[in-house]
A and B are shown apart, each in its own frame.
Chain A
Amino acid sequence: NAGVTQTPKFQVLKTGQSMTLQCAQDMNHEYMSWYRQDPGMGLRLIHYSVGAGITDQGEVPNGYNVSRSTTEDFPLRLLSAAPSQTSVYFCASSYNRAMSSYNSPLHFGNGTRLTVT
């Protein structure tokens, strides 16, 4: 079991470039999410999905797009990178079955360190 896999581990972009951060999980988790981690600010939720075809915004969604075409994959797209998006990005998943699982712990990937110059 690989768990939650994120690629790439490191990425450097120039302002205005676009890219997609990949996230895949093999635990058949219905819930997936993206967080960014910045110094002194903890982790902040960007977008999340409760199943294929369903996505919603988190706390800091501006500048990011997501889609969920399969249960396994939840890519995060930066359409026009800005220096303010320099951060460490974490993908996380958890088991979700109606109300009984909203408390499920999140399983995190190892993160992607993104630098925008």
Chain B
Amino acid sequence: AQKVTQAQTEISVVEKEDVTLDCVYETRDTTYYLFWYKQPPSGELVFLIRRNSFDEQNEISGRYSWNFQKSTSSFNFTITASQVVDSAVYFCALSENTGTASKLTFGTGTRLQVTL
């Protein structure tokens, strides 16, 4: 069975600090996709990134960067120079290939609190 572990339940940082959110996954599939979603205090779920299992290149988007390492089954998310607006719950998710459907298994989320 697939599993996504986000061991950090809650993280508090001061604005401008860098912070890394950890995600470890388990799957038997050879082809799979990993996702990060953000849930701000308003409650909606916002898609941040998708990474496929064959692409281990790190990705950077502004202050956000992602480190995908198949050898350790990890897909970590780093926010550089954090801002108060980054305060949210962040979910890592793993796709399960059933052949016809996109079924995502979510981690339990990491609540990030950024203070002034």
Binding site for B on A (CB under 8 A): 31, 33, 35, 40-45, 48, 50, 56, 58, 88, 90, 92, 94, 96, 98-99, 101-108, 110-111
Asked whether A110 lies within 8 Å of B43 as measured between CB atoms, the reply is: yes
Asked whether B101 lies within 8 Å of A96 as measured between CB atoms, the reply is: yes
Give Cα distance in the complex from A9 to B114, angstroms: 28
Binding site for A on B (CB under 8 A): 4, 9, 33, 35, 37, 43-45, 47, 50, 52, 91, 93, 95, 97-104, 106-109
A48 partner, pick from B33, B99, B103, beta carbons under 8 A: B103
Q: For A45, what are the chain B residues with a Cβ–Cβ distance below 8 Å?
A: 103-104
B103 partner, pick from A58, A88, A99, beta carbons under 8 A: A58
Q: For B45, what are the chain A residues with a Cβ–Cβ distance below 8 Å?
A: 90, 92, 106, 108
Which among B9, B33, B43, B104 has the greatest number of chain A C-beta atoms within 10 A?
Answer: B104
Asked whether B102 lies within 8 Å of A101 as measured between CB atoms, the reply is: yes
Asked whether A43 lies within 8 Å of B106 as measured between CB atoms, the reply is: yes
Asked whether B102 lies within 8 Å of A42 as measured between CB atoms, the reply is: no
Asked whether B101 lies within 8 Å of A40 as measured between CB atoms, the reply is: no
Asked whether A42 lies within 8 Å of B108 as measured between CB atoms, the reply is: yes
Q: For A94, what are the chain B residues with a Cβ–Cβ distance below 8 Å?
A: 102
A97 to chain B, nearest CB (A): 10
Give Cα distance in the complex from A96 to B107, angstroms: 23
Which among A40, A42, A48, A90 has the greatest number of chain B C-beta atoms within 10 A?
Answer: A42
Q: List 6 A-B contacts (CB under 8 A).
A: A31-B102, A42-B109, A102-B95, A103-B95, A104-B102, A106-B104
Give Cα distance in the complex from A31 to B109, angstroms: 24
The 10 closest A-B pairs by CB, nearest first: A108-B45, A103-B33, A42-B106, A42-B108, A43-B106, A105-B47, A102-B102, A50-B101, A110-B44, A50-B100
Asked whether B44 lies within 8 Å of A111 as measured between CB atoms, the reply is: yes
Q: For A42, what are the chain B residues with a Cβ–Cβ distance below 8 Å?
A: 4, 91, 106-109
